[in-house]
Structure 1
């Protein structure tokens, strides 16, 4: 075999139109993932200007994750019904409007509401963008494309604090705080994606006979909101308060009703039959733990570095930059390796490496030293994520037939967002702070 053929086998080449599809999918998802983490370093300044304590900080994060996690399921069906490109366009425009509303928020309550709308828009973006890849790219090239997508969207989750920190510290114009510009800037990548969609010139393919399970969507939303409200507000009200145990009860019963509904609904939001595929259900269990850990560590590190060692927001964001560099350099290559050798080895080594990295960060002491106490753990965490994310996504979507890729990606992304949502809500319970 010639070297050229060997190289083609190890590194699948994407065609011109396929590159455009990947670029659209990456950018459309990027803004959603980016905003989910930019907020982590902006929280102290937001609360300083608008008021509120740890509870308000948790709601600023979780109002976004509640709607994102709940509506991302129905978004998979919506994209199949109305077309992925149309849904992506609507999601982009709505996300842009909501981002401007967040940046212009006059009160913390208004900001929390605008963040919830952002979550709905983000739910429309993520499954439709990944489904655009799986429906346009096949074979070994699909593994590489998914590797690029997962790598870049994961980078967005890590680089968000860096971008947010720069805006918070450096872009204060008159009486307008820099954190507000961190949300206004979303308009630029959104406009670029809308232009690229025009260049793609692809017509939507709609799946006939699809219906949206509105009852399932309502039950899922109420279930998540009830549980999260109880976990966050119990810090100030206590578990004995009727509002707390009542919302927890309603949330648990609603989510149980959602699962029953999904078993018997003709067109379920989350088809339980997907979980009969071993790689799908085991991959989603792994996703819950991995993304729960990522969300919790990102939130905790961003807030701690500003309120503990009193680092400026920019340095708090830059602290996670080594992980970002590792993912940018190696995610697509790991995706190609996973296509050749299978995902199992990577999905074993990756989470173990992430765990070692998190444990290493426990070395942090009152006499703070980033280089010895945090950097080794951040590097290990980045290596672990790089080894895990692309193979994990490929294994999950590869277990489901392509025509159901939209709902499969929606379920997987919902699992990851809900895991982050629950872990963030639990933070106050873990630390005992208010």
Structure 2
């Protein structure tokens, strides 16, 4: 490739279409991480699935995404961010069609894993494209739009899922992806320029590092999800394999000529603190979105659509406030928004905790509003901070790292939670068991969110507003 002498401006047609394409594409992948939650009870009934199998409908997708998102980011930097983004969208489209026709829990889990692979290829590409093709003065606002719409996708998932399940059946939550993916592919082909890390082009790929991440996360997730049905010795063995793989990954990355992850990125205190905060906060968020809609259907007798509407306050807050939160962070620095946001979320979670049998909208709405305001305050600054802390040539890797950390946090929290709060087997159909497990879960989430706020406060001390400098040209 040659050089792109001009960056895209947000107000141009190509700039708007590119931002729409990467925002919508990333949103589709994120939506599928949350839209399935509200359909779990229906899927469990129609496919005769256990709670463990329902966990894997969620975790199969998240495992593939978390394990391979680093690979997706690195491939984009090396082979072209636009190219890998398009491959990921096409893969995701095909896997979604296969999910829609699954006939057994095992088939659906397998197709969800395939979906996760496609998501791992496209997800880091969206942010990396923004970071590499837009003018520097437009990046914070563009990232704010991306983060806000991505948050909306996660929040609106239960609502969309509830409407589709009640009106047409659970298979439509996957079928709806097909026209959306086709639209993203068309927009990307027309408007988005190709970029890559020219220093990485032609170098070898770190297959060992990629394999070790899959082993580490796969072993740990399976151990946590199936702990109730496996022997203690097997559980300990899986944990040991996962720990060895994690250590091996660090050693391999230090020695690799072309590492999957440049560990030097973690030498930046802000990058490390932002990712540590991401891990605990997204772990809590994954649990909240997983268990709330299920609990309201089982314990309070809400319909799938009514339970899905609990995502509406978050959708509205993210839509209205994400860009403003990004601009605020750009002016005053990210420390206050990223420390205060998780604490506000924790307060909201505790306000929702009393919801049980007979719960109405007025029982849960105050807590949902507070939770949504906190989430809107933290999402955009977090994303912008991670990318700003890394050199532009590592945009794909930095995005991949943060996405991997977020998905791993959510994955491991959802995998571990049922055992921690005493839920197993068919307990998701027992209102009494679900109420007890839900309330214990909300306490755990509030603690995790508060820890995230503390990490941000101390880890981001001394951060300053984003500098306003414009590089002369873009290597592509």
Do they fold alike, i.e. is TM over 0.5? yes
The C-alpha deviation readout for 1:405-426, integer Å capped at 9, x for no partner, is 1100100010000000000001
- What residue in structure 2 maps to residue 128 of structure 1? 125
Pairwise CA distance, 1:334: 1.4
Give 3-state SS (helix, strand or coil) of 1:366's partner. Answer: coil
Contact 1:158 1:321 (8 Å CA) reproduced = yes
Match of 1:212 among 182, 197, 205: 205
The C-alpha deviation readout for 1:234-266, integer Å capped at 9, x for no partner, is 12235x2x3322222212211221121112211
Match of 1:90 among 87, 90, 93: 87
**Aligned positions, number:** 414
Pairwise CA distance, 1:131: 0.5
- What residue in structure 1 maps to residue 303 of structure 2? 312
Match of 2:166 among 150, 169, 180: 169
- What residue in structure 1 maps to residue 405 of structure 2? 415
Contact 1:235 1:432 (8 Å CA) reproduced = no
2:419 pairs with 1:429? yes
> Structure 2 CA distance, aligned partners of 1:204 and 1:346?
31
- What residue in structure 2 maps to residue 9 of structure 1? none
Contact 1:143 1:338 (8 Å CA) reproduced = no
2:224 pairs with 1:227? no
Pairwise CA distance, 1:138: 2.9
1:35-434 alignment, distance < 5 Å: 35-171=32-168, 178-200=169-191, 202-205=193-196, 207=198, 208-238=201-231, 240=232, 242-371=233-362, 373-434=363-424
Pairwise CA distance, 1:159: 0.3
> Structure 2 CA distance, aligned partners of 1:340 and 1:20?
27
Give 3-state SS (helix, strand or coil) of 1:179's partner. Answer: coil
Pairwise CA distance, 1:332: 1.1
Contact 1:54 1:428 (8 Å CA) reproduced = no
Structure 1: any 5+ residue segments left out of the alignment? 1-11, 172-177
The C-alpha deviation readout for 1:294-348, integer Å capped at 9, x for no partner, is 1100001011111111211111100121111111111112112221221112112
- What residue in structure 2 maps to residue 27 of structure 1? 24
Pairwise CA distance, 1:40: 0.3
Give 3-state SS (helix, strand or coil) of 1:319's partner. Answer: helix
> Structure 2 CA distance, aligned partners of 1:106 and 1:87?
31
Give 3-state SS (helix, strand or coil) of 1:128's partner. Answer: helix
Give 3-state SS (helix, strand or coil) of 1:400's partner. Answer: coil
Contact 1:232 1:426 (8 Å CA) reproduced = yes
The C-alpha deviation readout for 1:188-239, integer Å capped at 9, x for no partner, is 111111110222162454632433211111111011111111111112235x
> Structure 2 CA distance, aligned partners of 1:309 and 1:365?
6
Q: Over the residues paired in the alignment, what is the CA RMSD in angstroms?
A: 1.4
> Structure 2 CA distance, aligned partners of 1:203 and 1:401?
18
Give 3-state SS (helix, strand or coil) of 1:320's partner. Answer: helix
Contact 1:46 1:179 (8 Å CA) reproduced = yes
Give 3-state SS (helix, strand or coil) of 1:363's partner. Answer: coil
- What residue in structure 2 maps to residue 3 of structure 1? none
Scaled by the length of structure 2, the TM-score of the pair is: 0.85
> Structure 1 CA distance, aligned partners of 2:375 and 2:11?
24
Structure 2: any 5+ residue segments left out of the alignment? 1-8, 425-476
> Structure 2 CA distance, aligned partners of 1:201 and 1:344?
33
Structure 2 CA distance for partners of 1:130 and 1:52, relative to 1, 3 Å:
same
Contact 2:82 2:192 (8 Å CA) reproduced = no
> Structure 2 CA distance, aligned partners of 1:185 and 1:110?
19
> Structure 1 CA distance, aligned partners of 2:185 and 2:176?
15
